[in-house]
């Protein structure tokens, strides 16, 4: 499970992607802030790796532009720490460096960077690369959320049998059904799901079971597993009943399922934005979901039923 953290977005963040620029050179920060702001991005800055990691714990960021060589933590080490954090690993990191030799380029990719630009920076090149990676990351995030909404989890195993990628739902179910907190390897018992579905009962909730389907090999020797949770009671109404929502949480869920934003809900219910966030945290936990989309889908199905 990813570490719980509070993330903040500016009011216009839905329209403006947020980029964290990390560089110890004020001239680079000033240049990029001007170019990116004028091109529709909301820019946050950090002047070293340690402060960048702190900012990432508090901000919802769409991409990171990271200087490769800085005092203290280098950009390479900072990137490794970002990619080691499950809650941050999805963020695309683009290196900025004056080093163009193959060794340093390969080092940037090896620690998890998706691209690099060389100094002195060319604004058009930076924007072109940034736009592409922000768009791709958004599509990947929407795909993960769509799988969560549909009630499926996905595990991708590499040729060594280690977990190369997992969706949010899969991470949650790995912990619940196997107690595997590291989530580095597929539990041995789950590997029996070859050619037919494997069903595992929940150790804590007898009305639930996990269905594991091996979808077979995909690219580069990887294997795809599809996970879904099955309930003996089945309906969204019974899921809400088991969740035991308070009356206020039920109101928040109702407005959420109607497509209202946090700001809208706060105004409608005459409560603070912070209180809405707290109710949503409780909702996600009780419903066993990780995204607004998944909670809204449950609320919408309940209202129709």
Is residue 65 over pLDDT 90?
A: yes
Phi, psi dihedrals of residue 69, rounded to the nearest 5°:
-115, 115
What is the Cα–Cα distance from 267 to 265, expressed in whole angstroms? 5
In this prediction, residues 54-71 reach a mean pLDDT of: 91
**Residue 40: which pLDDT band, with cuts at 50, 70 and 90?**
very high
- Parse the chain into domains and list their residue ranges: 18-145, 151-231, 236-304
**Residue 54: which pLDDT band, with cuts at 50, 70 and 90?**
very high
Assigned CATH topology for domain 151-231: Beta-Lactamase (3.30.450)
Residues of the chain above pLDDT 70, percent: 79
pLDDT of residue 4: 37
In this prediction, residues 230-240 reach a mean pLDDT of: 55
Q: Cis before residue 120, ω within 30 degrees of 0?
A: yes
Assigned CATH topology for domain 18-145: Rossmann fold (3.40.50)
Residues 73-130 have pLDDT tens digits of 999 999 999 998 877 888 999 999 876 667 778 888 999 999 999 888 899 999 999 9
pLDDT of residue 203: 76
Element at 44 (helix H, strand E): strand 42-46
Q: What is the DSSP letter of 189?
A: G
Greater model confidence, 59 or 194: 59
Greater model confidence, 301 or 78: 78
CB 120 within 8 A of CB 136: no
Check if CATH label 3.40.50.720 holds for domain 236-304: no
Greater model confidence, 9 or 194: 194
Residues of the chain above pLDDT 90, percent: 26
Ramachandran bin of 274, using left for φ above 0, alpha for ψ from -120 to 50, beta for the remaining angles: alpha
Phi, psi dihedrals of residue 199, rounded to the nearest 5°:
-115, 125
CB 76 within 8 A of CB 49: no
In this prediction, residues 229-238 reach a mean pLDDT of: 56
Residues 141-179 have pLDDT tens digits of 766 666 665 667 888 777 777 787 777 778 888 888 877
Best CA proximity match to 155, nearest among 175, 128, 131, 130: 175
In this prediction, residues 195-202 reach a mean pLDDT of: 74
Greater model confidence, 15 or 98: 98
Per DSSP bridges, beta strands 208-217 and 198-201 are antiparallel
Long-range CB pairs of 39-43 (<8 Å, 24+ gap) are 39/127, 40/15, 40/16, 41/16, 41/17, 41/130, 42/10, 42/12, 42/13, 42/16, 42/17, 42/18, 43/18, 43/19
CB 259 within 8 A of CB 185: no
Greater model confidence, 78 or 291: 78
Is residue 287 over pLDDT 90?
A: no
Is residue 274 over pLDDT 50?
A: yes
């Amino acid at each position: 499970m990813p570490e719980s953290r509070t993330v903040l977005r500016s009011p216009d963040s839905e329209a403006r992607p947020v980029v964290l620029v990390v560089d110890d050179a004020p001239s680079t920060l000033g240049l990029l802030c001007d170019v990116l702001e004028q091109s529709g991005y909301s820019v946050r800055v950090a002047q070293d790796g340690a402060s960048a990691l702190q900012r990432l714990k508090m901000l919802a960021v769409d991409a990171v532009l990271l200087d490769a060589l800085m005092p203290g933590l280098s950009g390479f080490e900072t990137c490794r720490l970002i990619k080691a954090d499950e809650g941050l690993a999805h963020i695309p990191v683009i290196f900025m460096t004056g080093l163009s030799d193959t060794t340093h380029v390969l080092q940037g990719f090896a620690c998890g960077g998706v691209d690099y630009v060389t100094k002195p920076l060319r604004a058009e090149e930076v924007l072109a690369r940034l736009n592409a990676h922000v768009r791709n990351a958004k599509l990947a995030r929407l795909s993960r959320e769509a799988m969560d909404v549909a009630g499926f989890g996905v595990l991708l195993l590499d040729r060594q049998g280690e977990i190369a990628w997992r969706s949010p739902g899969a991470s949650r179910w790995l912990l619940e059904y196997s107690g595997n907190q590291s989530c580095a390897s597929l539990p041995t018992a789950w590997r029996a799901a070859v050619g037919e579905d494997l069903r595992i009962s929940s150790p804590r909730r007898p009305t639930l079971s996990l269905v594991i389907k091996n979808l077979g090999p995909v690219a580069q020797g990887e294997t795809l597993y599809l996970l879904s949770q099955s309930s003996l009671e089945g309906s969204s109404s019974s899921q809400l009943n088991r969740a035991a929502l308070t009356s206020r949480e039920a109101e928040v869920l109702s407005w959420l399922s109607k497509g209202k934003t946090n700001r809208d809900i706060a105004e409608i219910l005459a409560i603070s934005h912070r209180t809405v966030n707290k109710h949503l945290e409780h909702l996600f936990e009780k419903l066993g979901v990780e995204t607004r989309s998944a909670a809204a889908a449950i609320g919408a199905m309940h209202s129709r039923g």
